[in-house]
């Protein structure tokens, strides 16, 4: 029997939906190669890669919150509960979480939708945040926000092809999880462009135009909004949120609100307002709109990306539909239990008068103030460079500057078989060691070029890196003009 007889899975027999997904940018691949080359002693114009390409807080040097790590340690190794090294409130939190676990161990499975005590604390947090009641039975814990997002997307699939397939409205630009999941599921991405000239706001006219065009190609089912924005760093106004809700209601769309950066707001003249809060304030009939809102332990001040902890609150779902969502997640057994403990510390932090309160406030305030300072600094740097424009970083963890590339650079990229923004980012990486993300990775605006730069690296590294970026950019312009 020839070897070809046992090759069940080949590139030709691979799931076509997987092949249709956009590939990871070649910048990531080259970054990994360069890091290996540096370790092998290969000479470069730099000594290490400056990672400005990912939203990994602690990977960028941010220190963990002490209370969170104490609770993690106590849950992982309960014998530490007998130690005098841990404050009483951290011990009580660990005991409460362990008491919810079978065998008093985080090594045991929980229900597929998470520990009830943690879900109750998430509901209390949302109620305090919005001023409106939240029911723990509407809360599902998940393996990062990503797992819950994909579960909700899967609920809205139609099981049909062609014009009958489910359509999901996603912004341009957007976090690639959405387009990748939609394509993988065989659904249809309905693209609507954000208004860069208006701080990346959502234009009602653009939404109407996009959905009208899409109705001959799919059955529009949901509208996805990321606020604060990734990669844009924008924060939507209350009035813009009201317009979006009215649009979704008018077109009978399920509203998917990605609010994982809700603790990351830097502009002093804006604040985060949840979609649920506005929905409830608008009253009947808008408060009957179906909504899923997501939160994550990976962002905010905690930055516990590796804990893989997230949650979703679902609003106005019929009990039978909610049971189907729980079924999807229960099949995966349960989200990481240590991650559930982390999320509990975020939504139910130490209170005034408790032993850990002062240190917790000091640490979180320091982290958030440093991030605000970096957001302002990065914005100012990009605004000062010829050939670059950049909106103010209002929230999230990124700058998304627009790069105006000379025609000769575009031609050189074409000759190299690369998108112009990828060409720019690869040149930046090769010459400076700065790893960024090309805007095309986020389904960038047609005819424009952007890069995404994280504000997470420490300021003592960020300042010289951006000086190198400025120098590179001016040399790049001179070379191709």
In a domain, 469, yes or no: yes
| Phi (first) and psi of residue 367, to 5 degrees | -65, -50
Render pLDDT for 270-286 as a digit per residue (tens, 0 to 9): 999 999 999 999 999 99
Least-confidence region, from 75-79, 224-228, 318-322, 444-448: 444-448
Q: How confident is the model at residue 23 (pLDDT cuts 50, 70, 90)?
A: low
Percentage of the residues of the chain whose pLDDT score is greater than 90: 78
- The DSSP call for residue 218 is S
Render pLDDT for 330-389 as a digit per residue (tens, 0 to 9): 887 889 999 999 999 999 999 999 999 999 999 999 999 999 999 999 999 999 999 999
Burial class of residue 312, CB neighbours in 10 A (0-12, 13-18, 19+): buried
Tell me the C-alpha distance between 156 and 159, whole Å: 9
Tell me the C-alpha distance between 214 and 229, whole Å: 24
Burial class of residue 318, CB neighbours in 10 A (0-12, 13-18, 19+): exposed
Last residue of a domain, one of 347, 376, 403: 347
Q: Taking Cα atoms as reference points, which of 156, 163, 217 lies closest to residue 190?
A: 217
- Same domain? 118 vs 48: no
Q: Taking Cα atoms as reference points, which of 285, 210, 270, 209 lies closest to residue 240?
A: 270
pLDDT, average across residues 404-413: 94
Characterize 241-272 residue by residue with b for buried, 16 or more Cβ atoms within 10 angstroms of its Cβ, and e for exposed. Answer: bbbbbebbbeeebbbbbbbbbbbbbbbeebeb
Residue 405's alpha-carbon distances to 30, 234, 345, 379, 479, in angstroms, are 22, 24, 46, 20, 11
In a domain, 84, yes or no: no
Last residue of a domain, one of 324, 347, 370: 347
- What pLDDT, on the 0 to 100 scale, is given for residue 91? 97
- Same domain? 310 vs 225: yes
Find all residues with CB under 8 Å of 119, minimum gap 6, and list them.
Answer: 113, 136, 139, 140, 141, 311
- Same domain? 30 vs 135: no
Tell me the C-alpha distance between 417 and 362, whole Å: 50
- Same domain? 323 vs 422: no
Render pLDDT for 298-317 as a digit per residue (tens, 0 to 9): 999 999 998 899 999 999 99
Look up the CATH number of the domain holding residue 208. Answer: 3.40.640.10
- Same domain? 286 vs 435: no
Tokens of 185: 């599921």
- Same domain? 179 vs 277: yes
- Same domain? 339 vs 366: no
- Number of structural domains found in the chain: 2
CB 420 within 8 A of CB 403: no
Last residue of a domain, one of 291, 320, 347: 347
In a domain, 97, yes or no: no
Q: How confident is the model at residue 61 (pLDDT cuts 50, 70, 90)?
A: confident
Percentage of the residues of the chain whose pLDDT score is greater than 70: 97
Query: Cα 418–420–426 angle (5° rounding)?
Result: 70
- Same domain? 334 vs 397: no
In a domain, 373, yes or no: yes
Residue 300 CB coordination number (10 Å): 22
Q: Taking Cα atoms as reference points, which of 81, 44, 375 lies closest to residue 232?
A: 375
Q: Which residues pair with 313 in a beta bridge?
A: 139, 293
- What pLDDT, on the 0 to 100 scale, is given for residue 329? 80
Q: Residue holding tokens 């070809």? A: 4
- What pLDDT, on the 0 to 100 scale, is given for residue 21? 66
In a domain, 222, yes or no: yes
- Same domain? 420 vs 388: yes
Query: What is the value of pTM for the model shown?
Result: 0.92
In a domain, 227, yes or no: yes
In a domain, 402, yes or no: yes
Burial class of residue 122, CB neighbours in 10 A (0-12, 13-18, 19+): buried
> What residues make up the domain containing 319?
109-347
Look up the CATH number of the domain holding residue 474. Answer: 3.90.1150.10
Burial class of residue 113, CB neighbours in 10 A (0-12, 13-18, 19+): buried
- Same domain? 310 vs 197: yes
Query: Cα 170–394–131 angle (5° rounding)?
Result: 80
Q: Residue holding tokens 């220190």? A: 63
CB 229 within 8 A of CB 191: no
- What pLDDT, on the 0 to 100 scale, is given for residue 22? 67
Tokens of 375: 């957001």
Q: Taking Cα atoms as reference points, which of 184, 178, 181, 183 lies closest to residue 192?
A: 178
Render pLDDT for 39-50 as a digit per residue (tens, 0 to 9): 998 999 889 999
Find all residues with CB under 8 Å of 286, minimum gap 6, and list them.
Answer: 245, 246, 249, 279
- Same domain? 208 vs 156: yes
- Same domain? 403 vs 458: yes
CB 50 within 8 A of CB 454: no
In a domain, 296, yes or no: yes
pLDDT, average across residues 421-436: 94
CA-based torsion, 63, 68, 71, 72: positive or negative: negative
- The DSSP call for residue 195 is B
């Amino acid at each position: 029997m020839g070897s070809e007889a046992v090759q069940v899975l080949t590139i030709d027999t691979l799931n076509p939906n997987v092949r249709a997904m956009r590939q990871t940018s070649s910048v990531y691949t080259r970054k990994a190669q360069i890091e290996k080359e540096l370790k092998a002693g290969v000479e470069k114009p730099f000594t290490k890669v400056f990672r400005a390409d990912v939203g990994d807080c602690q990977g960028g040097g941010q220190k963990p919150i002490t209370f969170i790590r104490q609770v993690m340690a106590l849950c992982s190794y309960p014998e530490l509960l007998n130690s005098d090294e841990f404050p009483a409130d951290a011990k009580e939190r660990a005991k409460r979480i362990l008491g919810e676990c079978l065998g008093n161990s985080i090594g045991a499975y929980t229900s597929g939708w998470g520990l009830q005590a943690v879900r109750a604390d998430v509901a209390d947090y949302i109620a305090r945040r919005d001023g409106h009641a939240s029911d723990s039975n509407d809360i599902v814990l998940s393996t990062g926000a990503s797992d819950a997002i994909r579960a909700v997307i899967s609920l809205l699939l139609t099981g049909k092809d062609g014009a009958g397939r489910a359509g999901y409205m996603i912004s341009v630009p957007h976090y690639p999880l959405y387009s990748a999941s939609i394509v993988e599921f065989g659904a249809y991405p309905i693209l609507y462009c954000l208004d860069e000239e208006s701080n990346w706001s959502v234009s009602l006219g653009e939404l109407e135009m996009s959905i009208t065009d899409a109705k001959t190609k799919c059955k529009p089912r949901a509208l996805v909004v990321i606020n604060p924005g990734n990669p844009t760093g924008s924060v939507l106004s209350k009035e813009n949120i009201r317009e979006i809700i009215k649009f979704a209601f008018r077109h009978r769309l399920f509203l998917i609100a990605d609010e994982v950066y809700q603790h990351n707001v830097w502009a002093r003249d804006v604040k985060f307002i949840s979609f649920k809060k506005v929905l409830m304030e608008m009253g009947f009939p808008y408060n009957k709109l179906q909504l899923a809102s997501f939160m994550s332990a990976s962002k905010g001040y905690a930055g516990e990306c590796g804990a893989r902890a997230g949650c979703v609150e679902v609003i106005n779902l019929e009990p039978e539909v909610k049971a189907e969502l729980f079924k999807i997640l229960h099949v995966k057994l349960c989200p990481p239990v240590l991650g559930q403990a982390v999320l509990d510390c975020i939504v139910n932090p130490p209170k005034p008068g408790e032993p850990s309160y002062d240190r917790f406030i000091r640490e979180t305030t320091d982290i958030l103030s440093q991030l605000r300072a970096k957001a302002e600094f990065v914005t100012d740097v990009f605004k000062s460079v010829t050939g670059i424009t950049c909106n103010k970083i209002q929230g999230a963890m990124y700058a998304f500057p627009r790069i105006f590339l000379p025609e000769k650079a575009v031609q050189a990229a074409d000759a190299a078989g690369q998108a112009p923004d990828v060409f720019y980012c690869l040149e930046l990486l090769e010459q400076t060691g700065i790893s960024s993300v090309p805007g095309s990775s986020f389904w960038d605006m047609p005819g424009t070029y952007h890069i995404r730069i994280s504000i997470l690296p420490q300021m003592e590294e960020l300042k010289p890196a951006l000086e190198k970026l400025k120098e590179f950019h001016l040399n790049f312009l001179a070379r191709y003009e």
